[in-house]
Amino acid sequence: MFRDLLGFTEGEIRQFFRGYLIRSAALLNHMPLQDVTEQHIDILMDELRRHYGGYCFDMKGRSRVFQTWSVLNFLNQSSEPGFGDYWYETGVITDSMKEYFAARIGTPGKAQTKAFWECDFSASQYSPAIDTGVLLTQCGYYTILSGDGDVIEIGLPNLELKQAHARIVMDGIMPASVRREMRERLPFFTGAVKAADAAYFFNVFLTALPEARKPGTAGEVCDWLRIFLLSRGLDARSGEYGTDASAWLLCEFPDVGIIMEMMYEGSWTEQQVNAQAKEPQITDAYSGSSAVHKPLRRFTMVFSGKEQKIILWSESE
């Protein structure tokens, strides 16, 4: 009965903040208040859930709530609203948090979730040796994703926390000059972006990675690109096909979605890459992403571990 007390439920937001939802939907869609429909409200709620929802304080992982601070900040915007990262901008980030974020969940080579025994949570209030992951979950930095009574799986609850996590990781490893250059190039990602432009953009970042962070698999290449793009306020996800030699990356830019297949070295020729681009393996990686409502560009690229950069690229029709 207490699992919904630490955040807003969707029903509470719809009931008690309806006027604010109408105003925000009107501003986002550039329309008069009287033209806002229930469909506009539903779409706005979907975005609020994607950015600020997903929190769970139920050991079974059944009940989800919204982060109150971020929802209130979003709804309180008087001009055109944006889905800001209020957690990062206003939260306290300690050195121990930075160390845990950079070394554990979601970084290349690490799983995007972590499992604990249920007793790690129930006994944590009495233990001076509480695991940092358990503590950060209880404080709302991570959340419970699922639970079966014995094992509890935690992870990042929403896009706001994924972006904040990525910014913390990037701030710790990437020179400010590189972060600035990449930020200046982001506006060039429009519906007309070419594979060669994307490869150059990604190579600026990949070649600047510290030696200890250099990717050794296609999955790690895409993971690093995902973390960088998230750190810049975009929505990105990545995954592997089950081998170290191929992986995928999906990113949603303001007016275009990019789906990229990454191959790792091998004896790939330009002709083979062009042929691969015509038969992309990705079929459902972007399921549930709002990127599917935008123009989609499909790229196939080959990353050289020796040169630590993308050396071949092609674009699907």
Q: Return the HEC string of 31-71.
A: CCHHHCCHHHHHHHHHHHHHHHCCECCCCCCCCCEECHHHH
Taking CA atoms, 127 is separated from 28, 54, 154, 209, 285, in Å, by: 47, 27, 19, 38, 41
Q: What pLDDT sits at residue 47? A: 93
Tell whether the model's pLDDT for residue 192 goes beyond 60: yes
Q: What is the pTM of this model?
A: 0.84
Q: DSSP states of 97-120 as a string?
A: HHHHHHHSTTSTTS-SEEEEEHHH
Query: Within a 10 A sphere around the Cβ of 117, how many other Cβ atoms?
Result: 12
Q: What pLDDT sits at residue 49? A: 95
Interval 259-291: pLDDT, tens = 889 988 764 555 665 565 555 555 444 444 444
Tell whether the model's pLDDT for residue 104 goes beyond 80: no
Quote the CA–CA distance of 169 and 229 in Å, as a whole number.
Answer: 12
Q: What pLDDT sits at residue 303? A: 92
- Model confidence at 296, pLDDT cuts 50, 70, 90, reads confident
Q: What pLDDT sits at residue 7? A: 87
Q: What pLDDT sits at residue 175? A: 77
Quote the CA–CA distance of 69 and 310 in Å, as a whole number.
Answer: 41
Q: Which residue has the higher pLDDT, 149 or 2?
A: 149
Interval 28-80: pLDDT, tens = 888 999 999 999 999 999 999 999 999 988 877 778 999 999 999 999 887 77
Q: Which residues contact 173 (CB under 8 A, 6 or more apart)?
A: 102, 209, 210, 213
Q: What pLDDT sits at residue 284? A: 47
Closest residue by Cα to residue 233 from 187, 293, 276, 196: 187
Exposed/middle/buried for residue 64 (C-beta within 10 Å: 0-12, 13-18, 19+): buried
Q: Which residue has the higher pLDDT, 108 or 309?
A: 309
Instruction: Please check whether residue 114 is in contact with residue 155, taking contact to mean a CB–CB distance below 8 angstroms.
Output: yes
Q: What pLDDT sits at residue 268? A: 55
Interval 122-155: pLDDT, tens = 765 556 667 778 878 877 788 888 887 788 888 8
Assigned token pair, 6: 């630490």
Q: What pLDDT sits at residue 168? A: 85
Interval 218-267: pLDDT, tens = 889 999 999 989 988 889 998 887 666 789 999 888 778 888 899 887 64
What mean pLDDT do residues 9-28 have?
A: 94
Quote the CA–CA distance of 229 and 159 in Å, as a whole number.
Answer: 12
